[in-house]
Structure 1
Amino acid sequence: MTITSALNTAMSGLRAAGRASEVVSSNISNAMTPGYARRTLSVSSASVGFSGGVQVNGIQRHVDSQVLSDRRLAGAEFGYRSETSSFLTNIENLIGTPDQAGSLSARLSDFENSLITASSRPDANERLEAAAWAARDLAGAINTVSDGVQDARTQADRNIGTQVDRLNEALKSVERLNRQITAGSSQNSDTSSLMDQRQTLIDEISEMVPIRTVPRANDTVALYSTGGAILLDGRAAEIGFEPANIVTPYMSVGDGTLSGLTVNGFAINTTSQSGNLRGGTLGAQFEIRDELAPEAQEQMDALARDLIERFEDSTVDPTLLPGQAGLFTDANAPFDPLGEQGLASRLTVNSLVDPTAGGEAWRMRDGLGATAQGDVGNAQLLNALTDALNTTRLPNSGSFGGAAFSAIDLTAALTSQIGADRLREDQQLSFASAQFYEFTQLELADGVDTDVELQRLMAVEQAYAANARVIETVDEMIDTLMRI
């Protein structure tokens, strides 16, 4: 080996060691950076004539594509279950449990107790007023739950708008990074940082919509939802959505009062079972707005209807005329079976006894249709009102299994249904969380290990020192030759 070839070999080794130290330093400094993938320097032996050395082939970015894909799908499922579980927990809290003051069951029990108390002293006006107030509080509790359901729908609609905007931005950014990566690859530039940015964006997209990535030429990727929608293949798709200001019980996608989704101008399915973008946090918002919340509203409307019908019966209050509203009303009007939708939000106590509307408490004892006060010691109507609460009857709407219920039993059944749904969703959330955690750990295991990187750095330092020693020896040989 000539002195020149030895010097060239050592110089190539120094350059390779310098690049390797940069890669190791980058790995260590970005060990906790989201989307960062571990790098290694790819080298090979170089031989030109009688000269050798080290040739730097490039930087390799290490990613297990299968684990990454599984982690993204698990993350989408975790986000989806988190949103639906949070909704059901919120509804359960609004309804409350029987042991909680202010819950539906507690309000109904308070109303029943107030009727019993009033019937023991029907001449005591303050007890009659307490019964009227208890009836009003019960109606208000049902209104509160119904309003909470619609607030959840409104918030879900707003979340959809926000997520669609962000989804469009992220897809455009991935499209732009694909072009930059293609340009960098054609110039043999290191595109690892661009791929890190793209991975972070795709991770964000996958939380909203479960996706599959498909490799394309020049290190670019295409994105497809697991529901079959093309989100990015060369060009990013444009997702369309029109948010509503406020969502009411009477609004739905079916009647055109609520917006669905479009992809490049074409309407797509948004249901939880067969939607093109189902799953993920975006799919969860559609399920809350269009399925879970309307189901909860339907059950609340059925409860309100049952309460109204119990007291519209003339056998309970003989002073009522046919078609006249009873103790509980639909916005102070008699119940119309064709107008049940949203009834829970309109439920009110008859203004004839409502303390806040100038009502007269003695009508609780003498009847809503009474023209004047009757016998102050007659508790017959008050007892009939109590019996109406405890009479078992088949609900005329809702999904309660076709059994007959008293008012308190129907409320308990509703509470139990919501609680069971929430518990089932929490179990699904627990499984999704465990799955997401396991795939995340698998991904991290193939990530940056700082201990291993430090060991590599020590090896790089040794290689650097060895090459530096060769150069130093060559320098000494040249000095010796110059002195001859």
Structure 2
Amino acid sequence: MGLSTSLGTAISGLHVTQTGIGVVSQNVANAGVAGYVRRVVSTSDTLSGATIGTSSTAVQRLLDKIVQHQLWQESAGAAYTSTRADALSNLDKLFGAPGSATALDSVYSSFTTSLQALKNDPSSYTNRTAVLDAASQLANRLNGLSAGVQAERTQAETKIGGAVNQINQLLDSLTSVNARIVQGQSDQATAGLKDQRDRIVSELSQYMDIKTSEDARGSLSIVTGSGAQIFDGRPAVKFGFDGRSALGPESLWSPNAATRGVGTITMTDNSGNQIDAIANKVFRSGEIAANLELRDKTLVQMQAQLDEMAAQLSSALSDREIAGTAVTAGAATGFDVDLAGLQSGNSVTLDYQVSPGGATRRFTFVRVESGASLPLPASASGDANNTVVGIDFSGGPASVAAQIQAAIGGGFTVSNTGSMLRIVDDGAGNTRDVLGLTARPTATSLSGAGGSPELPFFVDAGNGNGAYTGSFEGRSQALGFAGRITINPGLIADRSKLVVFNTTPATPQGDATRPQMLLDRLTKGLRSVTNAVSLDGSTATSNTTVSSFVQRVVASQGQAVENAKRLDEGQQVALASVQSRFAETSQVNVDQEMATLIELQNAYAANARIISTVKEMMDMLMRV
């Protein structure tokens, strides 16, 4: 090998080691910096004529792209689970620890305990006051919980709006960084830009589930988990959100803009075409998906449970049950019942038996004052064993009978005499047999002549303190009732009405009939619970006592919180595992860099020694 060849080889080696030392220095300086990916210099041997050397081909980032993509997916999942867990934990604090003095189950128990004491001593003014105090605390607790649920929904709405704005900003930032990468600057600069781009994508993955790919130029493309393109070198869509400032129980999402009470997310492409991202289920994971689920499902269901609790609490104490009178018409048998006392929202139930087989079924007919209130909302629907039908009473008793006949079909005969409704079977004995016909009117006064013990103990503050009847006029009266339930002001003005329910003849002050009725209706009487509450994941109606229903709601809330926490803990473990795998290749290890630096320094010294030796030999030759 000639001296010139040796000199060229040493110089090329010197350049490579200088580049390598610079990369090592940069790695050490950025050790621990979030988003920094370790760099290395790739080298290759060169042959130019008779000259053999080494050259650095590129500064490369060390990372596993498959693991990186998995990391972004797990990040979206972790943001989803942590957002839900945090929100439900906040509500759990609002509900209170089960058994604590302010917990919902404890407040309800105090109310039933006070009724027990009043039953034992109805004439005691102290006991009557204790009942009203406990009832007031229960109503206030339901009011506060309803307000807390809606505050959490409003917070979710605000967070959705903030996340949408942040996504647009991230996509804009990604555009400039991506363009500089594609322009092909130096390898060292490009590596830094790719780190910056990855940090932007990593933050984007917190808000929504995404998938990325690169073309031959290194330009990035991003689609959502649902397949919607959001970036292709530049933003493919612009996200929009028409948020609301404050949400209430009636503020619900709908694909129909005219009936929608909350904000929706739109995606507008570069041609001006717009789609509803929520209706098209674009968001399947990440912070936005979690807040949408909280706002439109989880918290709406929780409000429905509170509303149902308030409705059952009120109706159990105010609704009378008027059993029909058995009648026969030839071979046909059935019942008569008077509909005169029914108000909007009150119901009549028809129980029957299917023959052969003996299965029992029910029709529930709900009074409405106008056909505009039909059909009834989904929250009023029953199940396979209980068909709920709205009946327009505006046309009079004959129209009511005709509507009921159309609803139940053949096998029954429906007729009326004034307000008296009659339903009989066909007398065949092998189709459907009538078992019972019951009207359930709501008591509207605290006492009356020859009255019954039922009373409007709790009333609707949003309806002029009127009795709760379950009306569907305009919208369901149950919607948001937990936030409006209050004690009847008449009871506060006259505590004797907790005992006295007859004026002629007057009920004795020591009579326990009404206190006993109040207690039994809450602790023993079975109530039909609507499917809107979806307790235990069920969508069917169920029969339970008010006391049992309160316990089930409290238990369901606690279980939901625990499930959310466990899911988040599992997801965080999965995220940490992927982060560890990603760090194995991409994270800077200072000890490893120091070892590499020593190797480079030795190589640098060796190349420098060769250059020095060649110079000495050349000088010697020049002197010959």
Say yes or no: TM over 0.5.
yes
Secondary structure of 2:489's counterpart equals coil
- Within 1, Cα distance between the matches of 2:38 and 2:179? 23
In the alignment, structure 1 residue 335 sits paired with structure 2 residue 341: no
Identical-pair percentage? 28
1:363-396 deviation per Cα after TM superposition (whole angstroms, max 9, x unaligned) = 32335x9799964433332222222221332234
Decide which of 447, 468, 475 is 1:319's aligned counterpart: 447
1:31 corresponds to which residue?
31
1:91-142 deviation per Cα after TM superposition (whole angstroms, max 9, x unaligned) = 3333345412111110111011122223344343233222111101001111
In the alignment, structure 1 residue 467 sits paired with structure 2 residue 607: yes
1:388 corresponds to which residue?
521
Question: Quick check: 1:260–1:270 contact (8 Å CA) kept in 2?
Answer: yes
Q: Which residue identity lines up with residue 319 of structure 2 in the other structure?
A: D
Secondary structure of 2:252's counterpart equals coil
Question: Quick check: 2:318–2:457 contact (8 Å CA) kept in 1?
Answer: yes
2:400 corresponds to which residue?
none
Decide which of 268, 275, 278 is 1:267's aligned counterpart: 275
Deviation at 1:433, TM superposition (A): 1.9
Secondary structure of 1:70's counterpart equals helix
Deviation at 1:31, TM superposition (A): 2.6
Question: Quick check: 1:97–1:105 contact (8 Å CA) kept in 2?
Answer: no
> How do residues 123-272 of structure 1 correspond to structure 2 at under 5 angstroms?
123-185=123-185, 190-236=189-235, 237-254=237-254, 255-264=259-268, 266-270=274-278
Cα gap change, 1:371 to 1:227, in 2 (>3 Å)? farther
Q: Which residue identity lines up with residue 428 of structure 1 in the other structure?
A: L
Which structure exhibits the higher relative contact order, with contacts defined as CA atoms closer than 8 Å and separated by 6 or more residues? Answer: 1
Secondary structure of 2:113's counterpart equals helix
- Where is the strand percentage greater, Structure 1 or Structure 2? 2
Q: Which residue identity lines up with residue 184 of structure 1 in the other structure?
A: G
- Within 1, Cα distance between the matches of 2:111 and 2:456? 16
Secondary structure of 1:168's counterpart equals helix
1:323-350 deviation per Cα after TM superposition (whole angstroms, max 9, x unaligned) = x971111112211422211111111111
2:497 corresponds to which residue?
363
- Within 2, Cα distance between the matches of 1:182 and 1:403? 63
Q: Which residue identity lines up with residue 229 of structure 2 in the other structure?
A: I
Larger Rg, first or second structure (1 or 2): 2
1:289 corresponds to which residue?
295
Question: Quick check: 1:40–1:61 contact (8 Å CA) kept in 2?
Answer: yes
Cα gap change, 1:373 to 1:177, in 2 (>3 Å)? farther
Question: Quick check: 2:447–2:455 contact (8 Å CA) kept in 1?
Answer: no
In the alignment, structure 1 residue 349 sits paired with structure 2 residue 487: yes
Cα gap change, 1:399 to 1:212, in 2 (>3 Å)? closer
Question: Quick check: 2:523–2:546 contact (8 Å CA) kept in 1?
Answer: yes
1:20-56 deviation per Cα after TM superposition (whole angstroms, max 9, x unaligned) = 0111122222232222212110122233233332212
Cα gap change, 1:440 to 1:119, in 2 (>3 Å)? same
- Within 1, Cα distance between the matches of 2:164 and 2:506? 62
Deviation at 1:405, TM superposition (A): 2.1
1:243-273 deviation per Cα after TM superposition (whole angstroms, max 9, x unaligned) = 11001111122122222111115223426xx
- Where is the helix percentage greater, Structure 1 or Structure 2? 1
- Within 2, Cα distance between the matches of 1:325 and 1:440? 63
Q: Which residue identity lines up with residue 99 of structure 1 in the other structure?
A: G
In the alignment, structure 1 residue 425 sits paired with structure 2 residue 564: yes
Question: Quick check: 2:35–2:195 contact (8 Å CA) kept in 1?
Answer: yes
2:316 corresponds to which residue?
310
Mark the runs of 5 or more structure 1 residues left unpaired by the alignment: none
Decide which of 440, 449, 452 is 2:592's aligned counterpart: 452
- Within 2, Cα distance between the matches of 1:442 and 1:188? 25
CA RMSD after TM alignment: 2.5
Q: Which residue identity lines up with residue 196 of structure 1 in the other structure?
A: D
Secondary structure of 1:243's counterpart equals coil
Aligned length: 475
Deviates more, 1:156-165 or 1:217-226: 217-226
Deviates more, 1:259-268 or 1:58-67: 259-268
Question: Quick check: 2:527–2:546 contact (8 Å CA) kept in 1?
Answer: no
- Within 2, Cα distance between the matches of 1:269 and 1:325? 49
Cα gap change, 1:43 to 1:371, in 2 (>3 Å)? farther
Q: Which residue identity lines up with residue 133 of structure 1 in the other structure?
A: D
Deviation at 1:477, TM superposition (A): 2.5
Question: Quick check: 1:325–1:350 contact (8 Å CA) kept in 2?
Answer: no
Cα gap change, 1:189 to 1:59, in 2 (>3 Å)? closer
**Runs of 4+ deviating beyond 6 Å:** 315-318, 369-374
- Within 2, Cα distance between the matches of 1:343 and 1:241? 29
2:104 corresponds to which residue?
104
Question: Quick check: 2:301–2:534 contact (8 Å CA) kept in 1?
Answer: no
Deviation at 1:189, TM superposition (A): 6.6
1:377 corresponds to which residue?
510
Q: Which residue identity lines up with residue 482 of structure 2 in the other structure?
A: A
Query: How high is the TM-score relative to the length of structure 2?
Result: 0.71
- Within 1, Cα distance between the matches of 2:2 and 2:309? 97
Q: Which residue identity lines up with residue 67 of structure 1 in the other structure?
A: V
Question: Quick check: 2:45–2:53 contact (8 Å CA) kept in 1?
Answer: yes
Secondary structure of 1:56's counterpart equals strand
- Within 1, Cα distance between the matches of 2:610 and 2:508? 118
Cα gap change, 1:373 to 1:21, in 2 (>3 Å)? farther
Question: Quick check: 1:206–1:280 contact (8 Å CA) kept in 2?
Answer: yes
Question: Quick check: 1:394–1:402 contact (8 Å CA) kept in 2?
Answer: no
Deviates more, 1:285-294 or 1:40-49: 40-49
In the alignment, structure 1 residue 299 sits paired with structure 2 residue 323: no
2:402 corresponds to which residue?
none
Deviation at 1:239, TM superposition (A): 0.7
Cα gap change, 1:177 to 1:325, in 2 (>3 Å)? farther
Q: Which residue identity lines up with residue 264 of structure 2 in the other structure?
A: G
- Within 1, Cα distance between the matches of 2:106 and 2:311? 19
- Within 1, Cα distance between the matches of 2:62 and 2:188? 17
Secondary structure of 1:235's counterpart equals coil
